Amino acid sequence: MLQFKKVKHMDWSTFFINIRNKPYAEKLHKFLDEEYHEHICYPPRAQMFNAFTLTSYDSIKVVIIGQDPYHNEKQAMGLAFSVPNGIPLPPSLKNIYREITNDFGCEMTDNGDLTYLAEQGVLLLNARLSVRAHTPLSHDIPEYEQFLIDVLKFIDQNPQPIVFLLWGGFARNLKKHITNPARIILESVHPSPLSANRGGWFNQHQFKQTNDYLIKNGRSPINWQNH
């Protein structure tokens, strides 16, 4: 597994410099070139790395991991669970907003753009950064798995207290890669209606627990309300 070169200041550019010549990174780049050339893929390629662009390495307070981007037109924007303003809220995001309301008693608007969270230090990371139109998990390839593991290992070198919100079986299986003691892992079922309505999502108070942990460890809480 990739060993990251220690430098005085760690940031995402350090990460991408470390992996760019790795065989899996070269294969992934070639795969994406072909997929985006031959098929309609989401998000737009220029937005694939929005999670890293909008949430700097030093600012990470919370990590939320989705499986792959939304696969319908105009939904995916490079942030897990997020859709551009004006696009109807997907069912999972509706349930996320409902639980935020449960925790804080705040009203949420129908704006599904989660950039406001990313800019506060919530890394909204999809495990697979791309997908073919209308074909879920079509980019579920080993190279993306290696990339995600390396991202998690790099985050683990961040000394600041960080909350991981692992929703659903896929995300929960990643906790073996989270070993830094300056972490809290909050697990639940996935917020999709199929899982959430069976129990284990609502009234878990994960967003309140997240803020409690951040405050206890000297970090400012997240303003989860979207207006």
Active site amino acids? 68
Q: Is the dihedral of CA 163, 167, 170, 175 positive or negative?
A: positive
| SS3 readout for the chain | CCCCCCCCCCCHHHHHHHHCCCHHHHHHHHHHHHHHHHCCEECCHHHCCHHHHHCCHHHCCEEEEECCCCCCCCCCCCCCCCCCCCCCCCHHHHHHHHHHHHHHCCCCCCCCCCHHHHCCCEEEEECCCCEECCECCCCCCHHHHHHHHHHHHHHCCCCCCEEEEEEHHHHHHHHHHCCCCCEEEEEECCCCHHHHCCCCCCCCCHHHHHHHHHHHCCCCCCCCCCC
How far apart are the C-alpha atoms of 119 and 202, rounded to whole Å? 26
Q: Which two tokens stand for residue 115?
A: 């950039």
Residues 108 and 225 sit within 8 Å (Cβ to Cβ): yes
- Residues 19 and 36: their CA atoms lie apart, in Å, by 21
